[in-house]
């Protein structure tokens, strides 16, 4: 089974994807990890690398290409990433959402950063990503039609979100 897990920063996509991977025994590939790794390789933080990616569409295209190829090469895989649902064949496409303040608080705790700093970083990053995705791929990130289910993670912890997704996999 191929499952994509998408969502904005702080919605829990990485955590939920890893829990699903463990519980279902399915490998997980994260676009965010690839993006972070590419940023680290260039000795850049995420904001700097996002700016570079705005000027170099090949960065986003390469991440998408790798995930699509992996989905084609595997029977069972969890793909975590903002655009994974758009570029891969999948049996289940999930979008995780949460209110801005909830996401900012989660990131603030995770990264031990001041909440106002995190909010500004989120705004900059999300504007950058939305612009790149529209320009490079013609994807409007506010169009949710590609997803099979949408889960508001502010109402459930990551384990419960994973349980919900597992229940859905049992009926498809």
List the binding residues for ATP: 7-15
Q: For residue 92, what are the β-bridge partners?
A: 3
60 vs 139: CA distance, rounded Å: 13
Q: Is residue 81 a contact partner of residue 14, using CB atoms and an 8 Å limit? A: no
Which two tokens mark 80? 């975590």
DSSP labels, 8-47: -TTS-HHHHHHHHHHHHT--EEEHHHHHHHHHHHTT--HH
Which two tokens mark 38? 């590419």
Binding site: what residues are annotated? 7-15
Q: For residue 5, what are the β-bridge partners?
A: 80, 94
Which two tokens mark 131? 């612009």
């Amino acid at each position: 089974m191929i499952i994509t897990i998408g969502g904005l920063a702080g919605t829990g996509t990485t955590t939920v994807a890893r829990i699903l991977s463990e519980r279902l025994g399915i490998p997980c590939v994260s676009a965010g990890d690839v993006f972070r790794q590419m940023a680290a390789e260039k000795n850049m933080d995420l904001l700097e690398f996002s700016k570079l990616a705005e000027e170099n569409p090949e960065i986003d295209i390469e991440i998408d290409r790798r995930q699509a190829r992996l989905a084609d090469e595997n029977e069972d895989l969890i793909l975590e990433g903002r655009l994974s649902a758009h570029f891969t064949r999948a049996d289940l496409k999930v979008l995780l959402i949460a209110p801005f303040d909830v996401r900012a608080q989660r990131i603030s705790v995770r990264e031990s950063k001041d909440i106002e700093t995190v909010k500004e970083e989120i705004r900059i990053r999300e504007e950058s990503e939305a612009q790149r995705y529209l320009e490079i791929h013609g994807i409007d990130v506010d169009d949710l039609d590609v997803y099979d289910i949408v889960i508001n993670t502010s109402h459930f912890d990551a384990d419960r979100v994973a349980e919900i997704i597992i229940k859905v996999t049992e009926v498809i």
